[in-house]
Each structure stands twice: as structure tokens, then as C-alpha cells.
Amino acid sequence: MADANRSQAGCYVVHSAEKGTAGPNFQRFPTMEEAVSAVAGQGSFNGHQQPSNLTKSNNSLVIAHLSNEQSDASQCRPRHRFYVDTHLLGSGGDGTERDPWPDVPTAAKHILSMAGDGKLNLRPNEQIVIESRKMFTATRLEKKKMRSQRIAKGVFFCMTLSLVIPVFAILGYLFVQAWPALSWDFVTLNPKRMGTEGGIWAPLVGTFFLVLMSLLMAAPVGVMAGVYLNEYAKDNWFNRIINLAVVNLAGVPSIVHALFGLGAFVLAAGMGKSLLAASLTLSVMTLPVIITSTREALAAVPKSFREACWNMGATKWQTIRTIVLPNSISGILTGVILQVARAAGETAPIIFTGAAIFLPVEDNGVGYWLPYTLKSEVMALSMHLYTLREQINNAPLAMQYGTAVVLIGLVLSVNSVSIALRVYLRSRKKW
Amino acid sequence: MVPHIEFDNVTVKYGSHVALDQISLTVPPKSIIGIIGPANSGKTTFLKCINRTIDFIDTAKVEGNVRVSGDDVRSLRNVYELRRRIGMVFPLPVGLPLSVYENVAYAPRRSGMHNRHDLDQLVEKCLQQAMLWDEVKDRLHTLGTKLSGGQQQRLTLARALSHRPEILCLDEFSIAIDPVTTMKIEDVLLELKNEMTIVLVTNLVQQAHRLADQTAFFNQSKLVEIGDTEKIFTEPENKLTYEYVTGGFG
């Protein structure tokens, strides 16, 4: 019943949508078979343009199912869409955009046989569109691919931006707040009256010595352990346990390191709160990361270099000294320096182990530059900032922010030394 | 006469995979032995047993005895001296990240040779033997890693000769080298035979035919047949060997 209604509802119209001509170029046919035959160039067609030719200006053919009164197929919904690529050499595929037919007669032949199989049932106001697929134009699938590619790129860019903006916002805000306090005197003068007046020389020099001491202890141990683990250690249970320990140690919170330092160095080893205990604690904290980054830098040197040396009778140490270390030193130093920056900024590990709340150094002479012994307590920038903020009521805001700016400037300048070093050593990379 | 290299019932396993299966053969001094066989037949493992670089593969297990000049290589305390006495060229060329000169001078320096004049002479001689001297003599101080693939392979050969080995192991040394240069190097190898034993692993069956005194055919980790090269190439005892050398293998 429904089928009968459909066939009676009107006629089939072939449109050759030629641009630049006045009005649509079309003809009516009583059945779809005749319409398709006309498309194939077999039946009669009274248009200006032979419909079997798809050209640049005439790049689609439409077979529409319309009522007798209608002549405009533009309101019709495309039910089937087929593609023709006249550049194809073969006999073509299934008429999809990905695998088009080579010419319109072939398309008509396939459409007729599909209609014969009952696969094409045009309801009124539906149409079949045969489009010319141009060479080197994107298919729908490719357009979709490009769209999702653009979206992915955009999302990742936004994430990057959301990372960069806070960095500049923080730096800018710190600078603005600290501006009234910033001066050469602020950096070079001792703090006075619990830090509410004067400068920050004592904590600055304290931080310097803390970092220097912890670096002197952590860097050689960490680098050598990394070399051992990567170059000498065989893959057995003992070394797997060491690896596991290193990885886990890297994840220990700094306040736990602080408690460990208090127990082990300050109390058990009898060092008391001192520069030595604090820098030992800092070096224990930075060791695992130095070991890991050293191993990564060493692993980046191709194994074939080592094997070539061993084949010539070089010992492992000769190989490490002459080939492996010279080609991984940039990565190793980068890792070490980044840990220096981290140590400079940490507060927790030094609170219990050696940081003094207020301990100015001498105002001039040797005591100004070398104020500390291993046994003395020290001031430190991070601790000083904490003190000004939380422990003292009337510390000027600008001085708090000034301390933060100097601390962050210290960290950033250490980082940029590391970047510069890496760029320099990379430029000398030899493979 | 003590054989220079002797494999006595050697089996090598990587985990459960058997890479060499009960290999026994002897190589007399100052001769060339050609090792032929399809991929994965144990040829490279065979070489690694000679200079004990098999030690660096954690999963490898070696049974049986490998003797060099009568000494069991596994009982040697100074394995570095063993490796110095064995020159090794593997198929993938590796230029060390040093200058061309330092690539060749690497091994002599490591074994204590520091006299600049001696080093200069040695480097030139090795590069000439590897047919590389004419191409690099004006740029000895450019990086070895910047040479072309074929040049790096010849650099590897020069390096293997630089520690004046008594045994030279060549694993597909000519895959990246043009045929004309290969023929020249083959002539050098025939000369070198007067001072060292050469183990030549090759996929070019005719290369083994041209150079080797005796030829061994490996297949599926086993030594199928070993004998005088003429015999292997004209009337081998094993059908597989015949098919392989005549190109009907597989």
C-alpha cells in the first residue's frame, strides 16, 4: 500500500545543477529507471548540458522524487549520495567518497542495478545526488580527521597556556608587591629587629651555604650510584631492591625527610641543629632524584657505543670514562642543578635540623662572607619567609614579598644556568 | 699444531631458546674460515662466544668449551687481553662519537700506546687496510659518526685492526660497502691471512668461496657441515649444504 502511494506521488526529475545558467536545468521522467537512463546519456534529455558530463561548473547531478507540480529539487533531502572521479583509471569501487566510480554511465549502471535490487527506494521529496569528487580535495572522513586534529591541538595549547599564565601572574604579582622593598641594600644588609627592618643578607648567605654543602655531598654520591646502577649492576634481586628503594625514596614527603634528619643527624649522630645536619638532610632528600636523572642520562647513550669499546678490549671503566660520561654529562648536570634549585626552596627539611629564626651575621669582614661553621645554625630564605609571614606580627608586607622575589630569583637563575649548560653541551653532541 | 680456535661441544641458550647446539669445530692458525647459513642460525652467537662478549647478554648460558690458542676462554682472568687479541666487526656500523683519528686510536690508547708518531703510523696503516684512508685523510678530525654508512663500516674494520688482533672476526662486513671496495678489502684480507686467523661470517656465499680455506654451514643453531671450501662448494656431503651453496635452499 505504501509502495503504491509512493509511485503515484509524482514523477522523477533529473537536475543538472549548472552554475551560471539561468534557472535549473531539468527534465521530468515518469519512472526512476528512465531518469537514471537519461543520466547515463542513453535516454533523451533536453537540457543545455549533457548530464553524463560532470565538469568544474557542473559538479553534481540530482535524481529527485517530486510531485507533479513541483519543479524545484532544492527542498529535497538527499537520501543517497554517490561519487564519481573522472581521473580514475580503474573501473572504480562502490561509489562512496573514498572509493568513487570513474564516470557517470558507470554510476548510472550501478544505480540501476541497486534500484533493481530494491536498495534505492526514494520517498517523495528525497533525492539521489551524484557528486564529482575532485582530485586532491579532502573527503568527509579526511575533513573529520583534520577537524579532530585541530581540536586536539587547540586543547593542548589551552592547557599549555593555562600553565604559563599563572607563572607570569605569580611573578608579576610578587614583583609589584615587593617593589617598595627591593633595593641593593635589601639584598646586602643584615636583617634587624627580627627581620622587620634591614635586609636579607643573612638568610641569603645561609641558603647559599646550605645548598652548596648539600650539593657537595649529594652530587658525587648520587652520580656515582647512578653510574653503578646503570653501567655495572646486573639485573638481579639485589639491584632490583636498590632500584625500588631509590624510586620510593624519591616519593617521600619532605617533612618526613625533616623528621628523619632530626632523628638521625641532629639527635642520634649528635650534630645538634646545625648547617651540617640541615645540609645532610637536604642531600638525602635530593639523592634519589639525582640518581634517577643520572641513570636516564646514561641510558640515552646508545648501547652500541659501549659494545664497540668492549669488543676492542676496553674495560667498563675505560668505556664509561671515554665514551659514556662525555656524552651524557649534559643530562647528568641538568639533573643535579634542578635538584639544587629544589633544595634552595625547601623549608620543611631544615626547620627541625638547622634553620634559625633570627641569626644575623657580622656586618663586614670575613664574618660577612663566611659566617658559618659546620656546627652553627643558619638562617635560610625559605625559613625567613615563613618567619616573616607567620611568626612576626608587624613585618612589612613588601619585605615578605621581597624575600619571596629573591628566593624565586635564585631558583630561576639556577634553572637558567642549567638550561644554558644543556644547550651548550647539546650543541657539542656527537651523534 | 694447536688449533687457533677450538669449539668443543658448545651449546648456547638464551633462556629456553637454543642459539647454538653442540658445535664442535677447529680453526688452524693463519687460515680463513667462512661461516655461512640462513638468518637466525647462530652465526653471530658463534662469534660472541670467541671473544666472550656473550657475557654481556644476561640471559645467555654457555655450555662446553671454547679454546683460543689452547686456553679455555672462560677460565681466562684477563678477558680484556682476550678481546684485544680478537678484532670484531659487526654488521651494523658503529662510529664512536669521536674523531675519525680517535676512533682508530681508541684501542691502542687504552692499551697504553701514547707516542704520537707511532699512533699516526698505526692509524694510517689501519685506515689503508680498511680502504678508507684516501677518503678521510684530509678530514681525520671530523666526527666518525658523520661518515656515511659504508665509510663507518670500514672505520669499524680499521678499528678492529687497530689493536693488532691475532683473530679477526668479520660479521657481514661488506653489506654497506660497494662491490669494488669490497673486492679490494678481500685482497687485503688474503694478505692479512699471513699474520692472523680470520673468521668470516657472510651471507654472500661466493665471498666465502673466494676467500675461505674451510667453510662451515650453520642451519637452525646446528653445524650442518664443515670442510675444505672446494669440497663444500663442489661435492658437499649434506643435501642442505648443497642446496644452500647452489642457491636452491628453502
Does residue B92 surpass a pLDDT of 50? yes
User: In chain B, how many domains are there?
Assistant: 1
* A237 CB within 8 Å of a chain B CB: no
Chain A residue numbers with beta carbons less than 8 Å from the beta carbon of B84 are: 312-313
Model confidence pLDDT, tens digit, residues A332-365: 988 898 888 888 888 888 988 988 888 888 777 7
- The per-residue pLDDT for A6 is 39
Chain B residue numbers with beta carbons less than 8 Å from the beta carbon of A234 are: 58
Q: Are A203 and A396 in contact (CB under 8 A)?
A: no
Gap from A304 CA to chain B (nearest CA, Å): 7
Determine, yes or no, domain membership for B15.
yes
Dihedral pair phi/psi, residue A86, rounded to 5°: -70, -5
Chain B residue numbers with beta carbons less than 8 Å from the beta carbon of A431 are: 95, 97, 143, 145
**Could you give the C-alpha distances from B118 to A374, B33, B108, B114, B138, in angstroms and in order?**
53, 32, 10, 8, 19
Cα dihedral sign, A356-A358-A359-A360: positive
Contact B94 A304 (CB under 8 A): yes
Model confidence pLDDT, tens digit, residues A229-262: 999 988 889 989 998 999 898 889 999 999 999 9
CA angle A232, A235, A239 (to 5 degrees): 75
For chain A, give the mean pLDDT.
83
Top residue of A239, A311, A322, A325 to mutate, by most chain B CBs within 10 Å, is: A311
User: How many A/B residue pairs have CB atoms within 8 Å?
Assistant: 69
Chain A residue numbers with beta carbons less than 8 Å from the beta carbon of B81 are: 313
Q: What is the Cα–Cα distance from A216 to A247, expressed in whole angstroms?
A: 22
Q: What is the Cα–Cα distance from A35 to A48, expressed in whole angstroms?
A: 16
Model confidence pLDDT, tens digit, residues B175-224: 888 999 999 999 999 999 999 999 999 988 999 999 999 999 999 999 99
Domain boundaries, chain A: 2-136, 179-427
Does residue A122 surpass a pLDDT of 50? yes
Q: What is the Cα–Cα distance from A26 to A72, expressed in whole angstroms?
A: 9
Contact B98 A304 (CB under 8 A): no
Collapse the DSSP code of A53 into the 3-class scheme (helix H, G, I; strand E, B; otherwise coil) and give the result. coil
pTM of the model: 0.77
Q: Are A41 and A49 in contact (CB under 8 A)?
A: no
Does residue A366 surpass a pLDDT of 80? no
The CATH classification number of A179-427 equals 1.10.3720.10
Does residue A3 surpass a pLDDT of 80? no
Gap from A427 CA to chain B (nearest CA, Å): 14
Collapse the DSSP code of A135 into the 3-class scheme (helix H, G, I; strand E, B; otherwise coil) and give the result. coil
Residue A323: closest C-alpha in chain B: B97
Does residue A9 surpass a pLDDT of 50? no
**Could you give the C-alpha distances from A289 to A168, A228, A413, in angstroms and in order?**
27, 15, 20
Determine, yes or no, domain membership for B93.
no
Contact A312 B81 (CB under 8 A): no
Does residue A17 surpass a pLDDT of 70? no
Percent of chain B surpassing pLDDT 90? 67
Chain B residue numbers with beta carbons less than 8 Å from the beta carbon of A318 are: 110
The burial of B184, by beta-carbon neighbours within 10 Å (0-12 exposed, 13-18 middle, 19 or more buried), is given as: middle
- The per-residue pLDDT for A21 is 45
- The per-residue pLDDT for A94 is 86
For chain B, give the mean pLDDT.
91
Tell me the average pLDDT across B225-241.
Answer: 91
Give Rg (Cα) of chain B. Answer: 18
The burial of A155, by beta-carbon neighbours within 10 Å (0-12 exposed, 13-18 middle, 19 or more buried), is given as: exposed
Q: What is the Cα–Cα distance from A294 to A343, expressed in whole angstroms?
A: 17
- A307's grid cell: 659494545
Query: Cell 685506515 maps to which residue?
Result: B127
Q: Which domain holds residue B47?
A: 1-85+168-173+198-250
CATH number at residue B248: 3.40.50.300
Tell me which range, A28-42, A180-194, A218-232, A327-341, is most confidently predicted by mean pLDDT.
A218-232
DSSP string across A361-401: --SSSHHHHS---TTS-B--HHHHHHIIIII-TT--HHHHH
* B81 CB within 8 Å of a chain A CB: yes
* A308 CB within 8 Å of a chain B CB: yes
- B72's grid cell: 679455555
Order across the sheet with A11-16: list the strands.
A25-29, A11-16, A60-66, A126-132, A77-84
Tell me the H-state helices in B99-213: 100-110, 116-129, 133-136, 149-162, 179-192, 205-211
Contact A309 B96 (CB under 8 A): yes
Model confidence pLDDT, tens digit, residues B129-169: 999 999 999 999 999 888 988 899 999 999 999 999 999 99
Chain B residue numbers with beta carbons less than 8 Å from the beta carbon of A315 are: 80, 110
Determine, yes or no, domain membership for B28.
yes
Q: Which residue has the higher pLDDT, A264 or A30?
A: A264
Q: How many helices (H) and strands (E) does chain B have?
A: 10, 10
Contact B98 A430 (CB under 8 A): yes
Determine, yes or no, domain membership for B203.
yes
Q: What is the Cα–Cα distance from A66 to A87, expressed in whole angstroms?
A: 33
Which secondary-structure segment (H or E) carries B194?
Answer: none
* A303 CB within 8 Å of a chain B CB: no
Q: Are A357 and A391 in contact (CB under 8 A)?
A: yes
Strands (E), A41-143: 60-66, 77-84, 126-132
Does residue A188 surpass a pLDDT of 50? yes
- The per-residue pLDDT for A123 is 81
Cα dihedral sign, B106-B110-B114-B117: negative
Per DSSP, what are the bridge partners of residue A60? A131
Gap from A51 CA to chain B (nearest CA, Å): 59
Contact A312 B162 (CB under 8 A): yes
Determine, yes or no, domain membership for B115.
no
Lowest mean per-residue pLDDT among A27-31, A117-121, A128-132, B79-83: A27-31
Q: What is the Cα–Cα distance from B171 to B188, expressed in whole angstroms?
A: 16
Determine, yes or no, domain membership for B213.
yes
Written as one letter, the residue type at B49 is C
- B219, B223, B227, B230 alpha-carbon torsion, rounded to 10°: 10
The residue among A194, A198, A196 whose CA lies nearest residue A186 is: A198
| ipTM confidence score | 0.89
Q: What is the Cα–Cα distance from A377 to A430, expressed in whole angstroms?
A: 47
Model confidence pLDDT, tens digit, residues A37-85: 777 765 545 444 455 556 555 677 788 887 766 666 677 888 888 888 8
Top residue of A312, A321, A327 to mutate, by most chain B CBs within 10 Å, is: A312
